[in-house]
Amino acid sequence: MKIFVPRDMAAVAVGADRVAAAIEAEARARNIPVSIVRNGSRGLFWLEPLVEVTTASGRIGYGPLSEADVPSLFEQRFFDGAPHPKCLGHVDKIPFLARQARFTFGRAGVIDPLSLDDYRHHGGFKGLESALSLGGVGIIAAVKESGLRGRGGAGFPTGIKWETVARTPASQKYIVCNADEGDSGTFADRLIMEADPFMLIEGMTIAGIGVGATKGYIYLRSEYPFAIRMMQQAIGIARHAGYLGASIDGSGAAFDIEVRVGAGAYVCGEETSLLDSLEGKRGQVRAKPPLPAIRGLFGRPTVINNTITLASVSFIMAEGAKAYAEIGYGRSRGTMPVQLAGNVKFGGLFECAFGVTLGELVNDIGGGTHSGRPVRAVQAGGPLGAYFPPALFDTPYDYEAFAKKDGLIGHGGLVVFDDTVDMAKMARFAMKFCAIESCGKCTPCRIGAVRGTETFDKIIAGIEPERNLALVRDLCETMKFGSLCALGGFTPYPVLSALDHFPEDFATPPLRHAAE
């Protein structure tokens, strides 16, 4: 009988390997034949380690487990799906999962990530087949029709980017997958690579056929050792089966992929810096134009897309552009894997159509804080995204609606804070992070962030707060308009949102006491 125990890095971080070993030992001791499948995570992280068994009526889950639960699980015959205090019933019916629109993450946690048979049984390579029959022009038309926008942060229409690369004549073109996922509060790229790596391979291959590129690179951050191993293995398996190489799936079209590991620099997620880093240089941001689509990797036309963007293409080509474009909100079409993180009760990946409100995501779906205290702030869109107070929780999850509130969807992260958060410290951290990670090319970012950090130190110490707050606002203006990339240019968003929505945290110490 099959027992699924995730091999996902977060599941392992909370004991999945120990649970798997305990199940194996217990089964041996009881002489019960089991086969343990190390699946990816479903993305319901508060339930990890989440173990599943197959029954006639579907998969039954148990979690969150520790090795201490294992003897009683066997005692109760969990392998038959029997009741147990940790039994969660049918996994598909857990409300957090049942409420989702799992377009891109439908296979995550369901399949053995390295089984091509599993992948094919669950709709894998259907997108590639249709892409091969449509050809480049048809692929780009479909991606355009789907309305897909880049999920790395900027939300640029993917079809238009691909068209530019396709129309630029060159003897060699490249597909680069941005798997640098540096934003705090995000793990969707990681989940794709660990739970369903063939989907990314398929998406990149479709992109290659779409624009006429034969070589792809995955720029994968060094902080993701599990994803690195998984992608390398999956690429080897795909190559061996003829899904990568000189003639993909016997079509005559060539495409191959290589993994390149980053070295711990946030700014290397920025596309031009990433390209320099791929070329073995310091990851410094390049001035645009020229766009990477015209002069990218090694000076050649290059599609650079986020991992989710490329993975979504597999779904779009398999199920049709219409199915994707049908749901959504305004100009934000399709689904977004929202990542609920930080001090949140139900932390995990929630893929849904755009348009749900921030409050629904945090309170209804996320269940409020993990600590049980009131939610005070939510940082949306990573370290360069704004802090939202509960007063703005009616904002619909949509690129344009968030921008109107000086906020960011970014890569889909939401980090929840309870009422013990000190927003002056968070504003200082935003500046400090920019100072640590600045590539050093422009003065407002390099120097401004250091000065900003020092100025917050003074504010926090109660030294001339009014004057120093005015100074911070000036610095933010300079950084916004004088920075080449969004590291310097967007750091003002978390800083100013903290100042504007939580002014009480920046008042002079006596006033702060009075407010408490």
Partner 1 sequence: MLHAIQEEFGYIPREAEPVIAEALNLSRAEVHGVITFYHDFRREPAGRHVLKICRAEACQSMGSEANAHRLLERLGLDWGGTTADGRITIEAVYCLGLCATAPSALLDGEPVGRLDAASLESLAMEAA
Ligand X SMILES: Cc1cc2nc3c(=O)[nH]c(=O)nc-3n(C[C@H](O)[C@H](O)[C@H](O)COP(=O)(O)O)c2cc1C
Can you tell me which of 439, 459, 475, 495 binds ligand SF4, judged by CB under 6 A?
439
Three-state SS annotation for 383-417: HHCCEECHHHCCCECCHHHHHHCCCCCCCCEEEEE
423 phi, psi to nearest 5 deg: -70, -20
Sole window of 18-26, 34-42, 439-447, 506-514 interacting with ligand SF4 (rule: CB under 6 A): 439-447
User: Which whole-number Å values give the CA distances from 510 to 82, 290, 428, 429, 463, in the listed order?
Assistant: 59, 53, 20, 23, 12
Cβ of residue 148: shortest distance to ligand X, in angstroms?
A: 9
Can you tell me which of 95, 225, 236, 374 binds partner 1, judged by CB under 8 A?
225
Residue 178: name its binding partner from ligand SF4, partner 1, ligand X, none (Cβ under 5 to 8 Å by kind): ligand X
Angstrom distance (rounded) from CA 266 to CA 117: 36
Q: Which of residues 52-81 bind partner 1 (CB under 8 A)?
A: none
Comparing CB distances to ligand X, the nearer of 182 and 208 is 182
Comparing CB distances to ligand SF4, the nearer of 266 and 502 is 266
Angstrom distance (rounded) from CA 35 to CA 13: 22
Angstrom distance (rounded) from CA 502 to CA 514: 15
The yes or no reply on residue 267 touching ligand SF4 (CB under 6 A) is yes
The yes or no reply on residue 303 touching ligand X (CB under 6 A) is no
Can you tell me which of 347, 368, 448, 488 binds partner 1, judged by CB under 8 A?
347
CA 29 to chain centre: 41
Residue 305: name its binding partner from ligand X, ligand SF4, partner 1, none (Cβ under 5 to 8 Å by kind): ligand X
Vertex 399 angle, CA 396 and 400, to 5°: 80
326 phi, psi to nearest 5 deg: -60, -35
Vertex 359 angle, CA 356 and 364, to 5°: 85
Q: Which of residues 399-458 bind partner 1 (CB under 8 A)?
A: 413, 415-418, 421, 426, 429, 433, 436-437, 439
Angstrom distance (rounded) from CA 148 to CA 366: 26
The yes or no reply on residue 6 touching partner 1 (CB under 8 A) is no
Comparing CB distances to ligand SF4, the nearer of 113 and 152 is 152
The yes or no reply on residue 438 touching ligand SF4 (CB under 6 A) is yes
The yes or no reply on residue 442 touching ligand SF4 (CB under 6 A) is yes
Site string for ligand X, 116-135 (x = CB under 6 A): --------------------
Q: Which of residues 97-116 bind ligand SF4 (CB under 6 A)?
A: none
Can you tell me which of 130, 205, 309, 343 binds ligand X, judged by CB under 6 A?
309
CB of 448 closer than 8 Å to CB of 475: yes
The yes or no reply on residue 163 touching ligand X (CB under 6 A) is no
The yes or no reply on residue 472 touching ligand X (CB under 6 A) is no
Angstrom distance (rounded) from CA 76 to CA 82: 6
Helix, strand, coil fractions of the chain, as percent rounded to 5: 50, 15, 35
Angstrom distance (rounded) from CA 505 to CA 502: 6
Site string for ligand SF4, 457-496 (x = CB under 6 A): --------------------------xxx-xx--------
Residues 6+ apart with CB under 8 A from 131: 138, 139, 205, 206, 209, 210, 317
Partners of residue 54 on adjacent β-strands: 59
The yes or no reply on residue 185 touching partner 1 (CB under 8 A) is yes
Comparing CB distances to partner 1, the nearer of 168 and 307 is 307
The yes or no reply on residue 281 touching partner 1 (CB under 8 A) is yes
Concatenating the DSSP letter of every residue in 113-141 gives TT-HHHHHHTTTTHHHHHHHHHHHHHHHH
CB of 277 closer than 8 Å to CB of 265: yes
The four Cα atoms 175, 179, 183, 189 give a dihedral, to 10 degrees, of 110
The yes or no reply on residue 268 touching ligand SF4 (CB under 6 A) is no
Residue 426: name its binding partner from ligand SF4, ligand X, partner 1, none (Cβ under 5 to 8 Å by kind): partner 1
Angstrom distance (rounded) from CA 122 to CA 408: 34
Residue 446: name its binding partner from ligand X, ligand SF4, partner 1, none (Cβ under 5 to 8 Å by kind): ligand SF4
Chain positions contacting partner 1, by CB under 8 A: 9-10, 12-14, 45-46, 48, 181-187, 189-190, 222-226, 261-266, 280-284, 339-344, 347-348, 370, 379, 383, 413, 415-418, 421, 426, 429, 433, 436-437, 439
Binding region for ligand X (CB under 6 A): 150-154, 156, 178, 180-182, 267, 269-271, 304-306, 309, 485-487
